[in-house]
Amino acid sequence: MEIIKPGTRFDFVGIRHFAYGLSCLLILVGIVSLIVKGPKFGIDFAGGTLIQIKADQSVSIGNIKKGLDQVKLEGTAVQQIGAASDNEFLIRAKTPADTEEGFTEQLQTALKTATGAKIEVQRVEMVGPQVGKDLRSKALYALFYAMVFIAIYISGRFEMKWMTSGILAVLITGAVYLFSLFNVSIPFLILLALIITLLMFWQLRLKYAMGAIVALIHDVVITVGILSVFNYEYTLSIVAALLALVGFSLNDTIVVFDRIRENTRRYPRLAMGDIINRSVNETLSRTILTSFTAWMTVICLFFLGGEITRDFAFAMVVGIFIGSYSSIYVASPVLLIFKDAAPSAGAVAVSG
């Protein structure tokens, strides 16, 4: 099945500067939101207690908070979820609760006394502050290593530089471990490691790896920023969505890169910009079909999947769109940047 008929000649490369501007704007909006609001961590990363309850009749949030005071839950925030007629509430407390045997019964009794309604406790989750801090670190490491090692694999796969890729993997892992010994903050450590990785890719002329990792960073940063704009909490579900996004975006990028490599061999005298345009047009139907079907699935999950899966679904709704966009307007144009930089590098070599 083909949505885009063969022989199309959309000039994607010609509007790449507009795409760069749009990407920069989205990144800037996300960063400003993160700076102004600060990252909003869920209990997975910040520690605390999460409780979901359902009442058999209409109750007020004020009365629910009175009941929570009786079980000594501090710093609570109560949010109604679902339709008003569902009478379901999500309770977040900044401090971990003592969830040993009898806590649920005690909570139900306190809430029933305060609200006059029968309360069903549907779930209770508790995470200590140290555990939350460890989970934050592991989540950042997972995202970093996923992006870097995928990019290194692409370098070996498309440029046949397996030895160089293997050495890079060892060097990057060693550098991260070395810096971690100096008690450097994890976000700063990951940022520094990414900068070093990009510089090494550029210096070694690993254009496919460079294109892949720039696109993945672009996708993750924009998705995280949009989550901040819409006041979503960063939880383990969001990390799972970001890792899934990395794989989905890479899948699109590999298809486009593979066609670019084929057309480079098939049309050796064609300009790189024309090769990129031809390759993207030839894979456009497949990209649209794949992205649209996945996008519709996560949209249905967002609206019909319930509160528990909503954060994951929203991150995927944003990420799938951004990932498909980056395969065309971010990953591929990086190859053009390398091509444009090559003559000047050669001129320096000759003059030397």
**Where in the sequence of the chain do the CATH 1.20.1640.10 domains occur?**
13-42+131-346
The phi and psi torsions of 190 (rounded to 5 degrees) equal -65, -40
Average pLDDT over residues 272-280: 91
How many CB atoms neighbour CB 317 within 10 A?
Answer: 21
The confidence score (pLDDT) of residue 36 equals: 93
CATH code given to domain 49-127: 3.30.70.100
Closest CA to 145 of 232, 239, 223, 38: 239
**Where in the sequence of the chain do the CATH 3.30.70.100 domains occur?**
49-127
| pLDDT above 50 for 317 | yes
13-42+131-346 adopts what CATH topology?
A: Multidrug efflux transporter AcrB transmembrane fold (1.20.1640)
DSSP H helical segments within 71-123, as ranges? 103-115
Burial degree of 337 (CB within 10 A; 0-12, 13-18, 19+): middle
Question: Residue 73: pLDDT band by 50, 70, 90 thresholds?
Answer: confident
Residue corresponding to tokens 């710093």: 75
Contact at 8 Å (CB) between 212 and 253? yes
Contact at 8 Å (CB) between 215 and 327? yes
- Taking the model in full, what pTM does it have? 0.83
Tell me which of 272 and 102 has the higher pLDDT: 272
The phi and psi torsions of 345 (rounded to 5 degrees) equal -65, -40
Contact at 8 Å (CB) between 164 and 204? yes
